[in-house]
Structure 1
Amino acid sequence: MAKLNFTLVFLLVFFCITANVLILFVTDWARELKYWEAKFEAEVEELASRALMLSDVRPPLNSKTTIVKHDAIRNEVEHPYSFKVISKSPGCESVYPTKGNVFLLILVACRPKEIKDRILIRKTWGKVKVHKNKPILVKFLIALPSNILERSLVEDEIAEYGDIIQGDFIDSYKNMTLKVLMGLKWAGLKCPNATYVMNLDSDMFVNVYNLVTLLETSPRERFAIGHLIENAKPFRKKDAKWHTPVEMYPDQYYPPYLNGPAYVMSGDLPGLIFNASSQVTYLPWDDVFVGIVMKKIGIEPLSGKHFEDYPKLDNTSAILNAIKGGIATHVAHQNEPNPTLSEIWKNVSKSIFIN
């Protein structure tokens, strides 16, 4: 009997202890869950309160928009969205206080998660601040990350480097046109005295020495050069990556345009293109859209060599020769640190100063 009582007491005590532990665990878990739910809701509320939030879809045309031929006058067309720059990246005058006379401003369009691409650029060709007494400035264009972790990392990066221009719209492929327009707007407002402005994708590697040499003898107004695309047709098939329905763009051919990975324009064009962009029907294909705007303002883009070189990425010698002799070379996104590219750039830089 005594043994039975002891067993019952033991089980009762064990049950009480276990129940208390479970209650504490559940309470603590609930408290933690409530904290993260509140934090998530705050983040969502902060995002939702912004004046502009774009999803990964084509923005609808404004109700006042009339679909007509792209070369016709469309004063009634309004830009479907506005946006704000939410990072405080210093303009050209803060870097070069005299008049902010930057010779070459390079705007690198990238996704928030492409941190290693930005690190590579900062450690190689982005370190070149002056060549032939001509100032060079590099800025990165990003929009809002889609998750909280990426946003935190981007905020740290902005605080550390101050070279990121960030817009208040969701960072997605179909918002690439907005990202480019954001860069052009920033250039026109914060770097109006730049002699040239380059648009660049983050997986391209720039030989700034060759580029400065090319631009030294180039026109300084109404000038644009890169890999010229002519007689391109819109993709009408619905399953195509660049599907462009007739209501988005009615013509059979696009006007000549400079392919997106790398092109340069004179410093007077960013402001002109941005201002005229509100009179052109929005397209998510940024290079085509800029080409349409250029046609509207009477700019004829020029064909340039070596703005898009694609060497075999498993051939170090081919990459070296492409970078050494070219202007913009495709090196792919940097998923892991690539010491080979750093060594190649040291080799290229050394050859410039030895010669």
Structure 2
Amino acid sequence: MLPVSKGERTLWMKFRRCLWYLVALIMVGTLVIYSSVFQVSWSLNPRTTTPNSSNPQNSVPPLVDRYTVAYPHEYHFILDEPNRCREESPFLVLMIPVEPHNREARHIIRSTWGNVTTVQGKVVSHYFILGQSREENGAQTIEEQLLRESRDHGDILQSDFLDSYHNLTIKTMLMFEWLSTHCPQTSYAMKVDTDTFLNVHNLVGMLLKAPQHLYITGTVIRFASVLRDQNSKWFVPFSTFPESVYPPYAIGLGYVFSLDLTRKILEAAQHVRALYIEDVYVGLCMRHLGIPLTDPPRGDMFRNWMPSDTGNCYWTSVITTLLHSSNQLLDVWKSYQTQAQSGC
């Protein structure tokens, strides 16, 4: 072996040190790339499945942030009407999301459009769907009141999730779950808010001419921009939903759908991250299914605001109108009945 000079030895040591730094840099880079890929994969597929004694395909709830909710998940109904829908076999079921404490809104609806039970020989029924009260003080009193309401009216569906605006998507998906398992003979259902006027006669008239399968309609919004303003009530960050425009969706104040769509939406929910904006989330599920939304026969049937002039047979010409509050419904209902009796 030839003797190695001091300069050559120093050069060799520098080379080895550089080589070590290069290997370390490659290892760190590989780790960063792997972590990024894993995070992207989780955001696109936020759920895994685990065996369950009741359903081997049940999904583990995703990690929930401020803009998503814990769905799919195994929720339970603590107040239920397990047989009523099957026994009545209604043509149309009205599903009304409501807060547990809002007994007044439920009373007003029962005395207005919720009191319409037959239209053109078709049976119409309604149910209020709600979660558990978030109020610590008085929660027991609210639960006792709900139990009495359930016994008196038979229209309360209460599940064991926390009732809040953020959890409206959970409430909506539980609505689809309940309908899919309890109403085998029902043709259509409608999700309708408590602060909405509903003309049940016009709704049934429209449905008698509507498609019977894979059908959903209401005020259909297309090309809605995703709001990135953090001060907005409907802010969604890029990390949760990277697209700039939402797919078509029906505004949540009132949309109607055929019952065969419920199971398909539930199937899509296994693959679509549960955004907290419930009507947008239903639209995301519809896009996943490749099923288009249907516009109503007339663009003015589903109104998102109340015009200043509601004379000239206005209330008898529409299906829904968003009001300022559910309390306003009593006066609006009187106007509607007056117009209907006058021949409008």
Sort the TM-score into its range (normalised by shorter chain). Answer: 0.7 to 0.9
2:213 is aligned to: 221
What SS class does the counterpart of residue 187 from structure 1 fall into? Answer: helix
- Residue 190 (1) aligns with residue 166 (2): no
Q: TM-score, normalised by structure 2?
A: 0.74
Q: Which amino acid aligns with 2:144?
A: S
1:318 is aligned to: 310
Looking at structure 1, the residues matched to 319 and 147 of structure 2 have their Cα atoms a distance apart, in angstroms, of: 31
> For the Cα contact (< 8 Å) 2:196–2:320, is it kept in 1?
yes
Q: Which amino acid aligns with 1:66?
A: W
What SS class does the counterpart of residue 125 from structure 2 fall into? Answer: strand
Alignment root-mean-square deviation, CA: 2.6
Structure 1 runs (4+) deviating above 6 angstroms are none
Q: Which amino acid aligns with 2:324?
A: A
Percent identity, aligned pairs only? 28
2:286 alignment partner, one of 290, 294, 298: 294
Q: Deviations over 1:255-284 (max 9, x none)?
A: 111111011111101121122212110111
How far residue 321 of structure 1 moved from its aligned partner, in angstroms, is 3.8
Looking at structure 1, the residues matched to 256 and 245 of structure 2 have their Cα atoms a distance apart, in angstroms, of: 23
Looking at structure 2, the residues matched to 76 and 206 of structure 1 have their Cα atoms a distance apart, in angstroms, of: 40
2:110 is aligned to: 122
Flag the 1:74–1:151 CA change in 2: closer, same or farther, 3 A: closer
Q: Which stretches in structure 2 are left out of the alignment for 5+ residues?
A: 1-38, 50-58, 63-69
Looking at structure 2, the residues matched to 95 and 88 of structure 1 have their Cα atoms a distance apart, in angstroms, of: 14
1:327 is aligned to: 319
2:249 is aligned to: 257
What SS class does the counterpart of residue 255 from structure 1 fall into? Answer: coil
How far residue 113 of structure 1 moved from its aligned partner, in angstroms, is 2.5
Q: TM-score, normalised by structure 1?
A: 0.72
Size of the alignment, in residue pairs?
Answer: 279
- Which protein is richer in helix relative to its size? 1
2:337 is aligned to: 346
> For the Cα contact (< 8 Å) 1:311–1:330, is it kept in 2?
yes
1:270 is aligned to: 262
Looking at structure 2, the residues matched to 253 and 185 of structure 1 have their Cα atoms a distance apart, in angstroms, of: 28
Q: Which amino acid aligns with 1:307?
A: F
2:303 alignment partner, one of 303, 308, 314: 308
Looking at structure 2, the residues matched to 224 and 329 of structure 1 have their Cα atoms a distance apart, in angstroms, of: 18
Q: Which stretches in structure 1 are left out of the alignment for 5+ residues?
A: 1-62
Flag the 1:248–1:224 CA change in 2: closer, same or farther, 3 A: same
> For the Cα contact (< 8 Å) 1:124–1:345, is it kept in 2?
no
1:66 alignment partner, one of 30, 37, 42: 42
Flag the 1:74–1:218 CA change in 2: closer, same or farther, 3 A: farther
How far residue 222 of structure 1 moved from its aligned partner, in angstroms, is 0.8
1:111 is aligned to: 99
2:198 alignment partner, one of 192, 201, 206: 206
How far residue 302 of structure 1 moved from its aligned partner, in angstroms, is 1.7
Flag the 1:343–1:219 CA change in 2: closer, same or farther, 3 A: same
Flag the 1:76–1:252 CA change in 2: closer, same or farther, 3 A: farther
Flag the 1:339–1:244 CA change in 2: closer, same or farther, 3 A: closer
Looking at structure 2, the residues matched to 338 and 288 of structure 1 have their Cα atoms a distance apart, in angstroms, of: 26
> For the Cα contact (< 8 Å) 1:117–1:334, is it kept in 2?
yes
